[in-house]
């Protein structure tokens, strides 16, 4: 990329509803990305708590924040499509060259912002790179444990060119439309940075509230929430958390979790144990991917 090339403009975006009720660290999430982006667009759904008031209070001090007030379709029962609708409402309002999607329980580490910016600048002039892929740290049970089995996506696109035709079939990933009719995964390069995902370390009362809400959009009955997982799918976390998460981790995360060595394995967990053995033997990565690496 030439030193005289124009600087890539990055838009951040998300959607949110009932973030307080559900225990999302959404304020820390937004603050973590603001130094990197030129604007941050949020599709803000009307809910039953003070999330809307908190976002507007944040916007009063953060000029990069742009709010789109939305109403969720409560009758939408197709697997997570209401999330896709809200995600795209926000993305379609982004004005940058690149659009960075960060969910309300996902946070960037301040020590990696420069690496993300460098990755955007490095690939901005190469149209073959349509998206950037992040390595994921999925915390589970408490902030001291990471879920590492192939049941958890280890990498995912979170930054995509905002100059190509793309859409989200659900909240997690994108499909790029070639010639307006054929969908495929984005062609991607590595961002050389992490997404810190805290969705599965929220206090159990928050997690139960989330399961009750999510079940409406995924057509199933919510289970009684507890943290229970194959202990072989976990490893201790020995890194540092983003500085902006200190208060949330102290007050809103589940404080203590110990893997149960007698945890009864489900059929799915047995399958993933076998997959982990194959990964160790052959150096494979059997986690699901929604992208094609080209750089």
pLDDT tens profile 179-213: 777 889 999 999 999 999 999 999 888 777 766 66
CATH value at residue 172: 3.90.550.10
Domain count within the chain: 1
Classified as helix, coil or strand, 144 is: strand
Tokens representing residue 166 in the block: 């793309």
94 lies in some domain: yes
Q: Which residue has the tokens 């993933």?
A: 272
Which domain range does residue 36 map to? 10-105+115-132+152-188
Whether 30 is covered by a domain: the verdict is: yes
Report yes or no on 161 lying in a domain: yes
Instruction: At 81, list the tokens.
Output: 């499509």
**Tens digits of per-residue pLDDT, 153-186?**
999 999 999 999 998 887 789 999 987 778 899 9
pTM of the model: 0.92
Indicate the helix (H) or strand (E) that contains 83.
helix 81-92
Is 41 inside any structural domain?
Answer: yes
Percent of the chain exceeding pLDDT 70 equals 91
Inter-residue contact 259 to 209 (CB < 8 Å): no
Answer yes or no: is 263 within a domain: no
In order of 98, 113, 124, 199, the CA distances from 119 in angstroms are: 12, 10, 8, 26
Q: Residues 246, 51: contact at Cβ < 8 Å?
A: no
Asked whether the beta carbons of 164 and 130 are under 8 A apart, the reply is: yes
């Amino acid at each position: 990329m030439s030193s005289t090339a124009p600087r890539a403009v990055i838009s951040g975006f998300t959607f949110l509803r009932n973030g307080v009720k559900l225990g999302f660290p959404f304020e820390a999430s937004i603050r973590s990305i603001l130094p990197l982006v030129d604007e941050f667009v949020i599709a803000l759904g009307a809910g039953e708590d003070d999330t809307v008031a908190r976002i507007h209070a944040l916007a009063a001090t953060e000029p990069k924040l742009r709010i789109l007030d939305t109403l969720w379709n409560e009758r939408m029962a197709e697997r997570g499509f209401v999330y896709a609708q809200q995600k795209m409402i926000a993305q379609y309002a982004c004005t940058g060259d690149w659009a960075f999607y960060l969910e309300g329980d996902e946070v960037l580490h301040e020590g990696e912002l420069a690496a993300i910016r460098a990755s955007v600048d490095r690939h901005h002039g190469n149209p073959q790179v349509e998206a950037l892929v992040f390595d994921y740290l999925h915390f589970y049970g408490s902030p001291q444990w990471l879920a590492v089995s192939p049941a958890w996506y280890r990498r995912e696109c979170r930054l995509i060119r905002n100059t190509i035709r793309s859409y989200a079939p659900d909240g997690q990933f994108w499909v790029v439309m070639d010639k307006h009719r054929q969908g495929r995964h984005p062609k991607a390069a590595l961002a050389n940075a992490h997404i810190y995902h805290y969705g599965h370390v929220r206090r159990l009362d928050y997690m139960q509230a989330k399961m009750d809400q999510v079940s409406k959009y995924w057509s199933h009955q919510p289970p009684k929430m507890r943290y229970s997982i194959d202990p072989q799918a976990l490893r201790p976390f020995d890194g540092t958390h983003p500085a902006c998460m200190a208060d949330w981790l102290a007050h809103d995360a589940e404080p203590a979790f110990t893997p149960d060595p007698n945890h009864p394995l489900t059929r799915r967990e047995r399958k993933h144990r076998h997959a982990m053995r194959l990964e160790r033997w052959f150096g494979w990565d059997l986690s699901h991917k929604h992208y094609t690496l080209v750089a």
